[in-house]
Amino acid sequence: MQAGSIEGTVVEIGLTSTSLISPDKQPFTVPNSMFTSQIIVNRSRAQSRVSVTTIPIRLEDIEKVPALSKEIKAMLRSNPKVISETDAPYCHLAKLENSYGELVIGCILQKMKKEELLDVEQDILLAAARIIKSHGVQFGNSTQCC
């Protein structure tokens, strides 16, 4: 749960206060009156999670983006953990810099436990990397200058 700048897992709800455990495992108590004046985000009730990744690629390879983008989108649509009904997965060139372009890959993933989510995101990134390499595209360097 998140209310303003306070984030944590609810441990106990009392008459005047709520006990939380922060992400770094620190316990704290918040007056319930704070929750009436804040927007509350309850991530545990979310039915999906947005996954967006930016991958730098060499400027010399941007002409290959349409073909690899099409293949990455097909890979995302075929993944059973990716939700395609509401928002289609995407992959496109989003930015051009002096020596690299930014490829953005995004999708909505089903609700799952954190460990499984991290595994699915990793599988997607590895599959995208294989597709990128199979098209002869090299990763760029976003820290390169001029």
Domain holding 80: CATH number?
3.30.70.100
Mean per-residue pLDDT of the chain: 86
Looking at the DSSP bridge assignments, the partners of residue 9 are 21
For residue range 72-95, what is the model confidence (pLDDT) as tens digits? 999 999 999 999 877 889 999 999
CATH code of the domain covering residue 11:
2.30.30
Per the domain annotation, does 139 fall within a domain? no
Count of the separate structural domains present in the chain: 2
Residues 30-44: what's their mean pLDDT? Answer: 74
Residue 127 sits in which domain range?
A: 48-134
The answer to whether residue 146 scores a pLDDT higher than 50 is no
Q: Is there a domain that residue 140 lies in?
A: no
Which amino acid is located at 137 in the chain? V
Report how far apart, in Å, the C-alpha atoms of 146 and of each of 14, 98, 103, 141 are: 59, 6, 20, 11
> Same domain for 67 and 121?
yes
**Alpha-carbon distance 133 to 113, whole Å?**
30
Q: Would you place residue 4 in the very low, low, confident or very high pLDDT band (cuts 50, 70, 90)?
A: low
Do 7 and 61 reside in the same domain of the chain?
no
Residue 66 has pLDDT above 50, yes or no: yes
Within this chain, do residues 71 and 19 fall inside the same structural domain, yes or no?
A: no
Global pTM reads: 0.67
Same-domain check for residues 129 and 69: yes
Asked if residue 9 is part of any domain, the answer here is yes
Whether the per-residue pLDDT at 144 is higher than 80: the answer is no
Based on the fold, state whether residues 56 and 118 are members of the same structural domain: yes
Would you state the structure tokens that stand for residue 15, as one six-digit string?
A: 């008459």
